Structures are given as structure tokens and as C-alpha cells.
Amino acid sequence: MTTKVTLTVNGQERSAEVEPRTLLVELLRDQLGLTGTHVGCDTTQCGCCVIHVNDKAVKSCTMLAVQAQGSNILTIEGLAAPDGTLHPMQEAFREHHGLQCGFCTPGMVMMGVDIARRLPGADEKTVREQLEGNLCRCTGYQGIVEAILSVANPGAVKEHHHA
């Protein structure tokens, strides 16, 4: 038995037939072909799957596709401007070497955008605590924290040692 869901994804209306158990991330990846959103766990711990649902960061592995009926979804693929200009958070991740293998990155960037929007002026400690639900195995978080700070609170970025 399937249900039809209709939602707006990255500015476009999309619809699909989903099963009651289909996760939102499965709808995005497997049915809509948006493979930028990743799955790193099955216990809602890693945050590789973070997207925005109605302008809020959400772990898309923890929401059913049917729950997203009618909602406005933004994934990593829709973050840059239509002309390809990177979003300031994407640019900051590049500038501060906030990614290595790139697997946690889509979720980190979407979370970073959410943190900077909710908590302008956040200090380093706050940014680190806000990342509680996002795991990265490669970077030691240093470049990620610097990148998010540079958008949320540029004055708080520690002196840069890479020139």
C-alpha cells in the first residue's frame, strides 16, 4: 500500500508514491535521486542526513516521508545560488578546510546554516555544543567549528595559522 506525498524540494514541487515506512531520507535519495543527503547510522546519532524542513534543521532519517506532506524542503543540492555561487556557509567550509572525505559534510553544512541563523554571535563553546548531533571522523571538528563561527560570529575565529 502506498501513499502519494507532494512537497517542495529545493524550490520545485515534487511528488512520489511512498510506503508508510519510507523514511524522508529514502524518499530524497532513492526516489528523488538527491544523493547529496547521506545516511551514516540508524540510531539518529550522526547527522549526515540533516536537511531543512520548513526552515528548520531536521534529521531526515528520523522523519517519515508521509510526515513531510506539503512541507518545504531544502537539501544540500539546493543551497548554492541558482547561478552556482556557493552559499556563505559552503564558502566558509572551503576556506576553513571544514571537510576531508565529505561524507558528513552535507549534514554539517545544513546544520551550520541553522546554527548561524538561530544563534548569531554564538561563541566557540556554543557552536561545539550545537554540533552534538553531528559526527565527523576526519576533521577533528576544528575546521568545521571555525567555518560556522566565521559566519555566525566572525570575531570569534581564532587566529589563522595557514596563511
Partner 1 sequence: MGQFGIGQPLRRKEDPRLLQGRGQYTDDMNVEGQFWGAFLRSPHAHADILSVDLEAARAAPGVKAVYTSADLDADGVPDMPCEVELADLAGAPMWKPMRPILARNRVRFVGECVALVVAQTQAQAREAAELIEINWSPRPSVADAQEALKPGAPLLWPELGQNVPVHWQNKPSTEADAAMAGAAWRVDVNIVNNRLVPAPMEPKAALASWDEQEGKLTLWAPTQGGRKIQANLAKRYLRIAQDKMRVISLDVGGGFGMRGQTYPEYVALVWAAKQIGGAVKWRADRTETFFSDYHGRDQVNEAQMGLDEYGRIVALKIHTLVNLGAYMAENGPRMPIEGGGRIIPCCYHVPHFYFSVKPVFTNTVSTDTYRGAGRPEANFLMERLMDAAAEATGLTRDEVRRRNFITEFPYKTPMGYVIDSGDFARGMDDAMRMAEWDTFEERRAEAYSRGYLRGIGVAAFIEAAGGRAPTEDMRVRAELDGSVTIFSGSHSHGQGHDTVFSQLVNEFLGVEPASVRLVQGDTDVTPRGSIGTFGSRSSMMGGAGIKMSCEKLVAKGVKVAAHLMQSEPDAVTFSQGVFRAGASEMSFTQVAQAAWDATRIPEGMTPGLDEGHNFQREAENFPNGCHVCEVEIDPETGIAEIVRYVAVDDCGAVLNPLIVHGQVYGGVAQGLGQAMIENALYDAEGQFVSATYMDYGMPRAHRMPFIEVGFNTVACRTNPLGVKGAGEAGACGAPPAFIGALVDALRDYGVTHMDMPATPEKIWRAIYGAQFDTQESDGIYAEVT
Residues forming contacts to partner 1 in the complex (CB under 8 A) are 29, 34-43, 45-46, 48, 75-77, 79-80, 86, 90, 93-95, 97, 99-106, 109, 124-125, 127-129, 131-132, 134-145, 158, 161-163
Task: Write down the least CB distance from residue 139 to ligand FES, Å.
Answer: 5
Question: Does 65 help bind ligand FES (rule: CB under 6 A)?
Answer: no
Residue 57 interface partner, choices partner 1, ligand FES, none, CB cut-off 5-8 Å depending on type:
none
Task: Write down the least CB distance from residue 131 to ligand FES, Å.
Answer: 11
Which one-letter amino acid corresponds to residue 145? V
Residue 100 and residue 107: Cα distance in Å, rounded?
Answer: 14
Task: Write down the least CB distance from residue 5 to partner 1, Å.
Answer: 19
Residue with cell 545544513: 110
Residues 6+ apart with CB under 8 A from 93: 99, 105, 108, 109, 112, 143, 144, 147
Interacting residue with ligand FES among 9, 24, 51, 59 (CB under 6 A): 59
Residues 6+ apart with CB under 8 A from 45: 133, 135
